[in-house]
Structure 1
Amino acid sequence: MMRRDKLRQTLRQLYTGQSRAAIRYQAVLACIDLAIIAFFIFGPYLRAGTSYLVLDYMIAFWIAGELVIQAVIARRFRDWLLRPMTWVDLVILGTLLFPNLLYNFAFLRAMRIWVLGQSPLLKVGLRKIGQSELNDVIRASINVVVFLFMATGFIYTFFFYRQDGTAGFVDALYFTVATVTTTGFGDITLPGTSGKLTAIVTMIIGISLFVRLAQAVVRPYKVTFACPKCGLNRHDADAVHCKACGHILNIPDDGL
């Protein structure tokens, strides 16, 4: 029992900690995730190759292993089960194991990019190079990129999938960017009521994410530090008192 608890604690530190060993481990995982994301992006063009299924099932095995480890290190199994990314990874795993049955949900694979932005690796890496103020900007940029890929994948799957070659994907990406930026050239449109509803949702969410990105770029840099008295979570980096309740703060110099 003690050995199992020690292993769980070690894994928890590696996955969520900020020590040098943990950051190195998370960097390796990030590189593997980037390779998996590249496979997801270029996978449709590799289906004719004999090695495609081998890579597909290797990635499925890796994601399944990650899910097991995350379940093991979770404080409570219920917490792990209620995490949105747990269900996203389960769907991604299903699309890898049953590609013909669940291909409609393959666009969710873009969420793997979002996971990279939530890792402590980003915050610690920016702190080490003295660019902590870019943390919010990079995370907001990742949110925009993830949404563009997910919207493009969804639109391609349900509206352009039957087009030959890369034409369908390019049309879906073109429509998504034109819609999100409200350019609206009108040369490519989605048919029917479902197409109109898709365009409406894409515009609303896309504009919101772009506004959030603009705010992250232009607003003054703030650190995340919860006030012990009132709980206000965002403060100026050099704040001494909480501007909400006046409580004396003790914000670390590194902003963590």
Structure 2
Amino acid sequence: MASHLESVPALPAPRSPLRRRLNRLYHGETPAALRFQCAVVAVDLAIIGFFLATPLLGDGPVFLWLDYSIALLVGLDLAARALAADDLRRWLKRPDVWVDGFIFVTLLAPLWIVNLGFLRVLRLWTLSRSPVVWRPMRRAGYAHWEDATRAVVNLTTFLFVTTGFVYTFFANRADGIEGYVDALYFTVATVTTTGFGDVTLPGPWGRLTSVVAMIVGISLFVRLAQAIFRPRKVTFSCPQCALMRHEPDAVHCKACGHQLKIPDGDD
């Protein structure tokens, strides 16, 4: 009898009211949850705008006040998402959580980690990993644009991260790069392999930066073209093998042959 009782797995501890409420707000689909999620996305977009404008703001008192205020918002969002997670350990292993944690650290010490501040733009990528962003698009019937939108976000994030890197480490050291716009111009010209040649990065590190920008940039452009021009598919999990991508008129899963019942609303 005792051995039988020992083999029964322990029941999970009940959630606190705060965790249940946060879970409903972050993952629910009630009107209140949708309003909350839209507010979170709006705040995230404002934060990303601040990150993009950082090179133009300098390091004066206003910048520090905004920086620490945003650090408070990012910290509260991280804590709330941790409490709302169904599985905290699994949540902590996600790469977007690690990136947000790093961004939070750079916000707490903006003057000490100034050379890595350009990586804050990765917040745009972590935002694109959140299902909160895609639910309204799917509900409005634009689910078929999700892949293309993700590709645009990935390309945009790479452009601004590379621009920040070039501005941080090569501004006033390379001919033609004196400001953020110059760094953006060089990045776009390099990523598109236009290569006007009027702005170049000096030394071996400059050449390596250009090589990486061209290789990764072309890969992201190809990914964007594939997402736009390839035949449209719908997102529907096969009950048998969990394959997610199917033809809009598919009756059977092409991987396992299981009969599908794709709702018309996914179009």
Query: Which residue is 2:166 aligned to?
Result: 155
Checking the alignment, whether the CA contact within 8 Å between 2:41 and 2:133 is kept in structure 1 is no
2:181 alignment partner AA: V
Spell out, residue by residue over 1:48-104, the C-alpha distance to the aligned partner (whole angstroms, 9 max, x if none). 654322211110111111121222222333323222122212221222221121112
Please say if 1:109 is aligned against 2:142: no
How do residues 67-86 of structure 1 correspond to structure 2 at under 5 angstroms?
A: 67-86=78-97
SS in 2 for 1:254: helix
Alpha-carbon RMSD = 2.3
Please say if 1:167 is aligned against 2:178: yes
Please say if 1:45 is aligned against 2:61: no
Q: 1:99 to 1:172 in 2, by over 3 A?
A: same
Please say if 1:242 is aligned against 2:226: no
Query: Which residue is 1:133 aligned to?
Result: 144
Query: Which residue is 2:243 aligned to?
Result: 232
SS in 1 for 2:179: helix
Please say if 1:186 is aligned against 2:197: yes
Q: Report the TM-score when normalising by structure 1.
A: 0.89
Q: 1:27 to 1:161 in 2, by over 3 A?
A: farther
> Take 2:29 and 2:148, find their aligned partners in 1: how far apart are those partners?
21
Comparing 116-125 and 229-238, the one that deviates more: 116-125
Spell out, residue by residue over 1:172-226, the C-alpha distance to the aligned partner (whole angstroms, 9 max, x if none). 1111111111111121111111112111111111111111111111112212223
SS in 2 for 1:174: helix
SS in 2 for 1:183: coil
Checking the alignment, whether the CA contact within 8 Å between 1:127 and 1:254 is kept in structure 2 is no
Please say if 1:23 is aligned against 2:7: no
> Take 2:172 and 2:76, find their aligned partners in 1: how far apart are those partners?
31
> Take 1:162 and 1:50, find their aligned partners in 2: how far apart are those partners?
27
> Take 1:31 and 1:180, find their aligned partners in 2: how far apart are those partners?
29
Comparing 11-20 and 57-66, the one that deviates more: 11-20
Match of 1:216 among 207, 213, 227: 227
> Take 1:67 and 1:88, find their aligned partners in 2: how far apart are those partners?
11
Query: Which residue is 1:97 aligned to?
Result: 108
Query: Which residue is 1:64 aligned to?
Result: 75
Spell out, residue by residue over 1:85-124, the C-alpha distance to the aligned partner (whole angstroms, 9 max, x if none). 2221222122222112111211111112123323334433
Shift of 1:161: 6.3
Query: Which residue is 1:253 aligned to?
Result: 264
Query: Which residue is 2:156 aligned to?
Result: 145
Moved over 4 A (4+): none
Q: Which runs of 5 or more residues in structure 1 are unaligned?
A: none
Q: Which runs of 5 or more residues in structure 2 are unaligned?
A: 1-12
Quote the sequence identity (%): 53
Spell out, residue by residue over 1:129-173, the C-alpha distance to the aligned partner (whole angstroms, 9 max, x if none). 33222222111111111111111111111111669xx93212211
1:157 alignment partner AA: T
Match of 1:203 among 207, 211, 214: 214
2:76 alignment partner AA: G
> Take 2:60 and 2:224, find their aligned partners in 1: how far apart are those partners?
39
1:5 alignment partner AA: S
> Take 2:33 and 2:16, find their aligned partners in 1: how far apart are those partners?
18
Q: Report the TM-score when normalising by structure 2.
A: 0.85
Query: How many residues are aligned here?
Result: 253
